[in-house]
Every structure is written in C-alpha cells, then in structure tokens.
Amino acid sequence: MPVHYHPLSREFHLCNGFISYVIHILPNGMPANLYCGGRVRDREDFSYLLQNRRRSLAVSQSTEENSYAQQYTCMEYPVFGTGDFRYPACTALQSDGSRVLELRYEKHNVYAGKPALQGLPATYTESDDEADTLELTLLDAQTGLRCVLLYSIFRDHAALARSVRFENAGKEPLVLERAMSLSLDLPDMNYEMITLSGAWSREREPFAAPLTPGVQGVYSLAGASSAEHNPFIMLKRPSTDEDHGEALGFSLVYSGNHMCVTVADTHGKARVLMGIHPDTFRWTLNPGESFQTPEAVMAYSAQGMGEMSRTFHRLYRSRLARGFWRDRERPLVINNWEATGAMFDQPQLLEIAHQAQTVGLELFVLDDGWFGHRDDDRQSLGDWYVPEGSLKLPQGLQGLAVRLKEIGLQFGLWIEPEMVNPDSEIYRQHPEWILCAPGRTPSPSRNQYVLDFARAEVVDYLFLALEKILGGSDIRYVKWDMNRYITECYSHALPPERQGEVYHRYILGVYALYDRLTAAFPRVLFESCASGGARFDPGMLYYAPQAWTSDNTDAMERLKIQYGTSYAYPLSAMSAHVSEAPNQQVGRMSALATRSHVAIFGVFGCEMNIGALTVEEKETLREQIALAKQYRELVRTGDFYRLQNPYCGSSCAWMVVSGDQSRALVGYYRLMVRANEPWLRVTLRGLNANLDYRVNAGEVYGGDLLMNAGLTVEPDQMTSNGADFSSILFELTAVAK
C-alpha cells in the first residue's frame, strides 16, 4: 500500500488493493484533489483531471496563474479569504484581525505505520506494515501557521484515516476558529446523502436525500455526539443499493460537538467537511503550540452500501476497539435496570441474579441506584461510595460481589462519572466544579448538572474515586452512562478568551479519564452509554468496545435501530438486551423468542425479572441463551449483510457469515402479518457459491441457489405464528462434499 510521490507532476498517489487517492500541488503551492475512488494503476501525472478554464468572476492568486481558480477547483484543504467562496476547512483569526490564509506546500514525509493522536481516540496499526502515512505540511508564510495534513492508508481496508495538526511556528498568537478533520472535494454531485438521525429511543435512523446546490448535513451542539445526529454520513450514487454501486462513508472519531456537511456548488462539485463543530470552537494557539484535530475515517465501496459498512465493521472492531476484550467473547449480562429501577434491596438483586444464572447468563450488572442515598434521579450523583449502614447493600459492593460469585455470576457496575445532582455531597463541597455561565442559573436536566471535565482536578478526583470502587471488589464490567446534554458550557478554571475551548476540553477530559481507568483496569469490560445511544460513536468505541445501543428494548424498534446503526458500526459494538413484554418503552407484546432473535445479532444480554416468566418462557429463554452462546463468536467476528430493510416494508432480514464462509446465521422478521399474504422469501448474501449448506439441521442447498433463489419462509415455522412480530432464525453450516 504505497504512497507514490511524483516530483515532476508534484502529485501524491495513495493506494492499496482497493482504493486510490490523488493529491496534486497546484502552481501556487496549494493542494488540490484529483481523485478519490476505486484503485487505479499509478502514473507519473494525473493532472489531466485538473479542470481549469477561465470563468467570469474567477479569482486567481496572481496574474500569471489566471487559468484556474480555487472556487472551480477540487481543493484538498481549502482556506478562507483568497477566492474559494465555499465553506473552508479551516479559519484562523490573526493578531492583526485578519482571517486570510494561504496554505501552501512546504514539505512532506512518508513513513510506514500510523501515528497515535495525542489524547484522542484513533484507529491504529499493530505493525508498521499495516498502513502507510503521508504527512503533507502546508505553511501560511505570513503568520507561520503550519498545517500538517495526515493521511494513513490501510493495507487491508478500503479506508483512509485523516486528521490535521496545526502548529504555530510564528511569533504571534492565533485563534483557530474552524479546524476540520477532513475536507474532500468531489468532481460531481450526483450523490444521495445518507445520515443517521433520530432521538432518544429511536436513534440512528437512515435518512436519504439527493444532493442539491447548497449546504446539507448533520451536526451536534449538545456536547455529545448525540442521539439526534450521529457523526457519520454516506454519499452514494442514486442507483447504489446494498450490493452494487459506489458508496463513500465518512465517520468522525469524536464524541462531542460535530459538523458533517456537504457543500454542493453550482458547478456540480460536492465538498465534504467533517470535524469539530466550528460554532462552539475557538482555540488559542500561542507560538510554539500545536493543535491536533480528531480523526475522520473515509471508506469507499464499489460494491454497494453493504461493503462500505463491512469495511467500517472490520476496521472498527479490529483497529479502533482495543484491549483485552477486543478479540474475546463478551459475557452475557443480566442488567437489573428494567426490573427494579433505582429502588431495590440486596435480596431482590440476588433473586434476579439467581434466576439469571439458572438460564445461563454470566454477569450481573448493578445499574443506577447503588451509591450515596440514591433512590431516584434526584440525589447523590457524584457520591461514588456505598454509605455505612446502607439498607440496599448492607455489606457494600464487596458483599454483593461475594454473593454473586457464590451464585456463579461475575459482577458489573453502572457509573455516571460526568454528572452531579445538586443534592450530593460532592456538589455541596465543590459547586465550582460544574459547567455554569457566570451570573446565570445552570439549567438542570434529569435533575443533574455537568461536571467541568476541562479541569484536571475533576478528572483526578473521579479517577481516584472510581479506582477505589473498581479496585475494592471483583468488578469485571463497567457501564459508563451520561444522561444529559451540556448547557451553560463555561469553565471557571479558564479565562474568558479561552471559553471557546471548553466543549473540546470537556471531551478530552472524558477521554483522559477513560484512558486512565482502562489502563488501570485492563481486564474490565467497559460499555459506553448515554441515555441509551446518545454517544454511540467511534470515539467511545476506542475505549469501550461495546455500547448500550438504545434505551428502547422493544424488538421491532430494535430491528430498526440496529439496522441503522450497522451502517457504520459492527455488531460487536451493539449491546442488545431481551426485556419484558409488554415492552416498557412502547407497550408492545412480542414473543420471547422474537426478542431473542433480535438481540442475538448484537452483544446479547437480558434486562428483566426472569423470576416473573412462566415455566415455558423460562425454558424458551434458556434455549435462546444457549443459542446466543453458540453464535456469539460468529456474530462478533463475521461479515454482516443487510437483506431486507425494516424501514421500507413489513419485513426485515439480515445475516452474518463467518470469515471462512462455513457458517452463517440468518434472521428473518415479519413486522406485520397480512391477510392472504404473498410468499415470503429471503435471498442470501456472502456465502460460498460452490459450497452446500445444511439449513437448520435439515435440507441441504447450494450457496449459489441460496444467493440467487433464496430461502423460502413458512409462516407456521415462525415464532407466534399468525401474529405480528414473528421471526425465524436459519442456521447454515457448510457440508463436506
């Protein structure tokens, strides 16, 4: 996967077995983009792709260079103020009040491997032959602002990781006002943009819209990547479907305020910009200082949206997620939240745990309500200890851990370190530790305030408090929650002119705490959570290999949420629990087996009072848990194919295939029954056409047949035959010839 440099044409060609990306240095030293797409052979000069024609109103930078203008060129990292009137990739306010920048080529460096990004999550390599990196350094000679564009191309993935490092090599301070992680100008705009948008309990629904001239996109100003708009966009050709056609995915490895937009111009070009949202960002860069942007990852597919997603899945589960749990089977948890809320006592917990153990679950997660005097969400957040004489946990966490061990379960714990209730010891001691604008009343949400993670002492305090908790009993799993968005984002530890840094410093503080805790407890499995899936993003995935996908545990709703989430994220990241019926979020009744058939395509767990199930239901659950154990490795590591879209009809289907194509698991779900309905059929993907597969320990069919004619689905074999919300799993095993 070389990075070719052609000095005569001043071109860089980054390529691997799947993709090519070509940058050209213009005569004035500014970089332009010539190509981003499927792999092409290298050549000395790609500059025939540069479109330069005199146009009215064109601005060029000198009279000798009037044949092209930035406005009409595909620029690589566009700036403001010298003739490109589209949204720029960066803006810097200078000490003389100017914002004009001229970033021109200064030098470049190519090396094997991929650098880590200081304090930020990022994809990584395990050996230097897994990626090559180009550092392309641009300089604004007048201010001394250096802008180092980082490109890492992976050997094994149709993906390119990008970020930017700004260095102030001048004599005056600068204020970065916009510092995009990625800018890409595409030569045409014949694309549809897909975004993953939603709200609490209906996160990451795919929305598609054709690009039209102007600005289109998604963003977050909530202080978290948000349930409303995930930091991901896809551009696909109008005819692209799951299996055919071009798709370009863009994913920001960041958990805070973001902006992911396209700017389509009136000459048919489309610019993609992705990075920290500039509206809430101002970063002072003193002489000698540098600023590193978050990473953005681009994936390209010529085989449809499905392959684009699988590229992200493979990359993110193997080279973004890290640590002990990355490549290990995840424990099947029982979480007490939907069974008890914050009101419980130890006998109740132990009964839930006991029941869970009898059906085969492995780890008990004690959710919210175990600390301070917490009986509901009005008190004690921030007081991370079990008080003496606690009625809920008389022997503390340690006592509970011991009892769970006796039952045969491991122990996991819920925390929400970023928040405090006004009614808490910690807030009474340190009211100055919350984010709060001077002279204004902080706005509560869920009765809580946000701690100022831009303050090192806050992060230090929490590390010590949580280190004590995690070190004090045998805790194997942590669910790190975050239950409100950020308002009044002002840090009393920073001067007025640095308040534009607080949102980003907050996220850096969160990452720092994650870093310290995961380093101190490398064997603890972390699951991220934010009122369900309000911070389900690649940044979190770097620290926590799985995330609570949504507070919505209804199976039919989960089909949609997990389907949308799979556009960018692997199944190994999606925590999915079987919960009670009627469902607590939507009141829907569905068969226990249907609920399990949805959860099995994620990190399977349960969140209910198993003791309240009938004998038959308990038996069903036991069987489904055994199945989940049998398939958890395949689901975690296999290739995922979306077969039928639940947003588009009355059915949903998907499947996961092992890397060697010897096993597959297919889920088929019927959302609504229909009278006198058509034949139900599902056409499979990803199998080996030359192999034969035994289906559900019965008939044998060729992989070619299954991928062309498909499987027939008999409604009377599905769960809850004749009712809505039924499902069937097909287990496929290759048979020896």
Active site residues: 481, 551
Tell me: cis bond preceding 545? Omega within 30 of 0 counts: no
Q: How many chain residues are in contact with ligand DGJ, going by CB under 6 A?
A: 11
Report whether 268 contacts 554 (CB < 8 A). no
Is 368 a binder of ligand DGJ (CB under 6 A)?
yes
For 27, other C-beta atoms within 10 Å of its C-beta total: 12
636 phi/psi in degrees, rounded to 5:
-70, -35
Q: How far is the CB of 530 from ligand DGJ (least distance, A)?
A: 7
Q: How far is the CB of 367 from ligand DGJ (least distance, A)?
A: 5
Q: How far is the CB of 198 from ligand DGJ (least distance, A)?
A: 15
Binding range to ligand DGJ, per CB under 6 A, among 149-157, 173-181, 257-265, 524-532: 524-532
**Biggest distance spanned by C-alpha atoms of the chain:** 85
User: What CA–CA distance (Å, rounded) separates 643 from 713?
Assistant: 14
Contacts of 698 (CB under 8 A, 6+ apart): none
Query: 456-515: which residues touch ligand DGJ (CB under 6 A)?
Result: 481, 483
Q: Which helix (H) or strand (E) holds 557?
A: helix 555-565
- Nearest Cα neighbor of 411 from 474, 470, 338 is 474
Is 554 a binder of ligand DGJ (CB under 6 A)?
no
Is 367 a binder of ligand DGJ (CB under 6 A)?
yes
Nearer to ligand DGJ, 529 or 559 (CB): 529
Q: How far is the CB of 652 from ligand DGJ (least distance, A)?
A: 24
Nearer to ligand DGJ, 414 or 640 (CB): 414
Binding range to ligand DGJ, per CB under 6 A, among 394-402, 527-535, 667-675, 722-730: 527-535
Report whether 353 contacts 158 (CB < 8 A). no
Among residues 532, 538, 539, 646, the one that binds ligand DGJ under rule CB under 6 A: 532
Nearer to ligand DGJ, 319 or 374 (CB): 374
User: What CA–CA distance (Å, rounded) separates 423 from 480?
Assistant: 21
Report whether 691 contacts 661 (CB < 8 A). yes
Q: How far is the CB of 414 from ligand DGJ (least distance, A)?
A: 5
Nearer to ligand DGJ, 20 or 380 (CB): 380
| The two three-digit tokens of residue 665, written as one number | 């698991």
Strand 680-682 and strand 651-657: the pairing is: unpaired
Binding range to ligand DGJ, per CB under 6 A, among 45-53, 326-334, 528-536, 616-624: 528-536
Q: How far is the CB of 580 from ligand DGJ (least distance, A)?
A: 14
Q: What are the residue ranges of helices labelled H in 447-535?
A: 456-472, 502-520
Q: How far is the CB of 577 from ligand DGJ (least distance, A)?
A: 9
Q: Which residue is nearest to ligand DGJ (CB)?
A: 368
Report whether 59 contacts 69 (CB < 8 A). yes
Is 531 a binder of ligand DGJ (CB under 6 A)?
yes
- Nearest Cα neighbor of 321 from 170, 6, 539 is 539
User: What CA–CA distance (Å, rounded) separates 130 from 114?
Assistant: 8
Nearer to ligand DGJ, 543 or 548 (CB): 548
Contacts of 589 (CB under 8 A, 6+ apart): 581, 582, 583, 725
User: What CA–CA distance (Å, rounded) separates 450 from 339?
Assistant: 27
User: What CA–CA distance (Å, rounded) separates 567 from 205?
Assistant: 10
Among residues 529, 540, 541, 578, the one that binds ligand DGJ under rule CB under 6 A: 529
Q: Which helix (H) or strand (E) holds 348?
A: helix 346-359
The distance from CA 186 to its chain's CA centroid, rounded to whole angstroms, is 24
Is 372 a binder of ligand DGJ (CB under 6 A)?
no
Q: What is the dihedral of CA 167, 169, 170, 172, to 10 degrees?
A: 50
Q: ∠ at Cα 480 (565, 511), nearest 5°?
A: 85
Among residues 414, 477, 526, 536, the one that binds ligand DGJ under rule CB under 6 A: 414
Among residues 551, 554, 580, 639, the one that binds ligand DGJ under rule CB under 6 A: 551
Nearer to ligand DGJ, 22 or 608 (CB): 608
Query: For the chain, first and last CA: distance in Å?
Result: 38
Q: How far is the CB of 218 from ligand DGJ (least distance, A)?
A: 22
Strand 700-702 and strand 663-670: the pairing is: unpaired
Among residues 344, 449, 548, 601, the one that binds ligand DGJ under rule CB under 6 A: 548
Nearer to ligand DGJ, 414 or 490 (CB): 414
Q: How far is the CB of 200 from ligand DGJ (least distance, A)?
A: 9
Half-sphere exposure of 330 (CA within 13 A, CB side): 33
- Nearest Cα neighbor of 95 from 144, 137, 61 is 144
Q: Is 260 exposed, middle or buried (0-12, 13-18, 19+ CB in 10 A)?
A: buried
Question: Which residues make up the interface to ligand DGJ (CB under 6 A)?
Answer: 337, 367-368, 414, 481, 483, 529, 531-532, 548, 551
